[in-house]
Amino acid sequence: MARIVLVHGAWGGAWIWEKVVGPLKAAGHSVETLDLPGAGDDETPLDEINLDAYAERICGVLGEKPEQAVLVGHSMGGMAVTQAASRCPGRVASLIYLAAFLPGDGQSLIGLTQLPEGEGDHVQKTMVVSGEPPIAELSEEDTIIAFYNLAPPEVAKWAAQMRRPQPAVPMMDEARLTAGYESIPRSYIHCTRDQANMPALQRRMMKERGVSPVVEIETDHTPHLSAPDELVVAIDRLARQEVPA
């Protein structure tokens, strides 16, 4: 079985994985979660938070055990795991991108959302960026529409209330890929009713970056809450390097 490290996305935290950790452990995997700098319970100062800080945090977690890990990145966590795998590729067995931003060298999250296939992204339409260093914020209503619109209403409301303002610099930072990263197997869980990372943009990134295999889930941006059982099956199979039927 695999060592799996789960990395959340923007406005998230380790808490977002609560419904999938237990079932993945029951399937025989060891499972770890973390708060990226400035997320969840982490209190890193805002002026120290960037994409490299995310990568450093992830590589630190990976280095706590000797075995390589399957690194799962959700949404903006795709940027974070890409940068981490470029920094410490020897610690990564494979990468699983979940409704995630999947950059090429020199691409940023914001840059990816500006591609034609990103049109309609509810996050970019509604988020407000302010301050220095900048933070990005969404209303509770827009958070639910963008991220949790197919989750049970009470679960969506809980998740929206768990969020914190999102440091904006990691969204603007460009990924820098290495040869070590390029040699790591990469797969993708494609959410076909996503309103935060548009399905067309997901397909473009998968094609351009050559990920395989791809698993499709007919759900919103956060299957952790809207389709946790399907998500567990997908991660389990991809972590075992089984090609889903």
pLDDT digits (tens, 9 = 90+) for 196-236: 999 999 999 999 999 999 999 999 999 999 999 999 999 99
Helix (H, G, I), strand (E, B) or coil at 84: helix
Tell me, what's the pLDDT at 241?
Answer: 85
Q: Please, are residues 100 and 109 in contact by the beta-carbon 8 Å criterion?
A: no
Q: What does DSSP say about strands 135-137 and 166-167: parallel, antiparallel, or unpaired?
A: antiparallel
Q: Give the right CATH number for 3-239 from 3.90.226.10, 3.60.15.10, 3.40.50.1820, 2.120.10.30.
A: 3.40.50.1820
pLDDT at 243 over 90: no
pLDDT in tens, 109-150: 999 999 999 999 999 999 999 999 999 999 999 999 999 999
Cα separation of 215 and 49, whole Å?
32
Q: Please, are residues 79 and 109 in contact by the beta-carbon 8 Å criterion?
A: yes
Neighbours of 161 (CB within 10 A): 9
> Crossing angle of helices 140-147/153-162, nearest 10°?
120
When the pLDDT of each residue in the chain is averaged and rounded to a whole number, the result is: 96
Cα separation of 32 and 5, whole Å?
5
User: Which residue type is seen at 117?
Assistant: E
Percent of the chain with pLDDT over 90: 98
Tell me, what's the pLDDT at 244?
Answer: 53
User: Cα 32 vs. chain centroid, distance in angstroms?
Assistant: 14
Percent of the chain with pLDDT over 70: 99
Tell me, what's the pLDDT at 200?
Answer: 98
pLDDT in tens, 29-60: 999 999 999 999 999 999 999 999 999 999 99
- Distances in Å between the alpha carbon of 130 and those of 43, 127, 134, 166, 184? 19, 10, 5, 11, 37
- Distances in Å between the alpha carbon of 221 and those of 80, 137, 147? 17, 17, 5
CA nearest 49: which of 168, 223, 198?
Answer: 168
